[in-house]
Amino acid sequence: MVTSRLAGKAAIVTGAASGIGRASAIRFAREGATVVIADINTAGGEHTVQLISHDGGEASFIHCDVSNTKDVQALVDETLATHGRIDILFANAAYLDELFAIADTSEDVWDRHIGVTLTGVYLCCRYVIPHMIEAGAGSILATSSVGGSVAFDRQAAYCTAKAGVEMLMKTIARDYGRAGIRANALAPGAVYTPVMDDVKHRNPDGWDQVLRDMSLLERLWAEPEDIAAAAAYLVSDEAAFVTGTVLTVDGGWTAH
């Protein structure tokens, strides 16, 4: 049941134009938060705002490339100017494309994966944390992946970036816990998002078997709303003693 456990809180959700980010932004708003949607996809981000508004929530959109320092600074400054606080940062934006083994990975492909998926989380945290320290509290959540701990074929850059996200959250938890800031990561398995559709099209014949190998449940994949439910818990005060951890939501795949 949806509650009001985020009432009065201001949240930034990056990569919220679709998928996990959109579902989480909607869930946060339903829980009472005022949500700032950040994405490079303007049309998708504004549609997320519309969905939240139609649901009775409060949200706004800011165009932001999280790999760009000036964009992230502007995101944080505008959020503070509008809402006066940042209680929650959900650094969800990531990049997954052009899958290669490391010897075939160009510097441009490597830089794009690391720039969005890892450096983007670093930049958001760098500019948000000082304001959370001043407030004496804050919750940071980042989207990792089971690929942060289990290697995927031909996804060297992506897996490396996601592993870095997990360690970044752990170090933030250690460095800033006494300042009232919690930092955690979510590690989804197979989630039915536009990215999954794209991966499925690259392997149409073997995809069902891949999913069966990944899930221990009757369901073969999670919906974005499943991940959003976990995210809402981790950023809420119900998880007040949870920090420096990685919550895996993968249907049991990593239990193999």
| Residues involved in catalysis | 158
Q: Which amino acid is at 256?
A: H
3-state secondary structure 57-105: CEEEEEECCCCCHHHHHHHHHHHHHHHCCCCEEEECCCCCCCCCCHHHC
List residues bridging with 38 in a β-sheet: 14, 62
- Please name which of 117, 124, 119 lies closest in space to residue 98, comparing C-alpha atoms: 117
Task: Note whether 125 and 91 are within 8 A (CB).
Answer: yes
| DSSP track, 189-224 | -SB-SHHHHHHHHHSTTTHHHHHHHH-SSSS-SB-H
The single residue listed with the structure tokens 């959700």 is 13
The three-class DSSP label of residue 230 is helix
